Amino acid sequence: MRHSGELEKKTLLDRLSSSKGKWGRASALALIFMLIGFLLGQVAGADAGVIPGSENDPLVTASWVEAKLNEFYQSLKEQKDLQIPEKHIKQEGDDGQPSSGQPVVIPAPTYEVITVAKGQKMLTGSGTEFVLRSGRARAVEGPGGGLSDLTAGRALPVNEIIGRDHLILSPREDGRGLIAETDTILLVRGGYKIE
């Protein structure tokens, strides 16, 4: 007996089975099991066809990273105008391996202390980062644009004073860099040339 204030609660399964009798319950259960099977099949098949190390699988091995770093440094060595400290380049034998037979391991590039005299320009390479530690310098723009002040989160317009202790990025090697108004000391990571 139902009270007038109570609502009868029915599950989805009860509603389907009550409308069709005994076959309704069986068809409702079959529908639910088919839906669960479909969802489990989608989850299980989600990784099907993914090749390890491919573009669809972002995990890489240490040897792949080392090979890419070696390619990068070889391309930097081929650029004759840019100065790359020799401490960042490992010497290889004729077969591309070091003489000890160990794989080439190149440490991540570190910042180098550079002094730029008053009136000199420091032109940066593609991807070069630098920090002005002392002195005063202005931004130099190339044909493709200027430098990026990563600390301030903005582009540096031509002739703007470079902020001390700001991390500056040169996105291209096209004449971008700085001109020193006083003797300056910089931390530089990447290729550069001083004129």
User: pLDDT (tens digit, 9 = 90+) per residue, 18-76?
Assistant: 555 566 677 777 888 888 888 877 666 656 566 666 666 666 677 777 888 888 777 77
Q: What is the pLDDT of residue 30?
A: 81
Question: Does the pLDDT value for residue 83 go beyond 80?
Answer: no
Q: What is the three-class DSSP state of 86?
A: helix
Measure the CA–CA gap between 135 and 182, rounded to whole angstroms.
6
Q: What is the pLDDT of residue 134?
A: 94
Tell me the mean pLDDT in the region 8-21.
Answer: 58
Question: Does the pLDDT value for residue 93 go beyond 60?
Answer: no
Of the candidates 141, 176, 147, the residue with the CA atom closest to the CA atom of residue 163: 147
Of the candidates 133, 128, 101, the residue with the CA atom closest to the CA atom of residue 116: 133
Lookup result for tokens 């002392």: 134
Measure the CA–CA gap between 65 and 77, rounded to whole angstroms.
18
Which residues of 23-146 form beta strands (DSSP E)? Answer: 112-116, 121-124, 128-134, 137-140
Question: Which pLDDT tens digit goes with each residue over 101-143?
Answer: 455 556 667 899 999 999 999 999 889 999 999 999 999 998 8
Tell me the mean pLDDT in the region 163-171.
Answer: 93
Q: Looking at the DSSP assignment, which residues form a beta bridge with residue 193?
A: 123
User: What amino acid occupies position 138?
Assistant: R
In this structure, how many other beta carbons lie within 10 angstroms of the beta carbon of residue 87?
10
Q: What is the pLDDT of residue 40?
A: 78
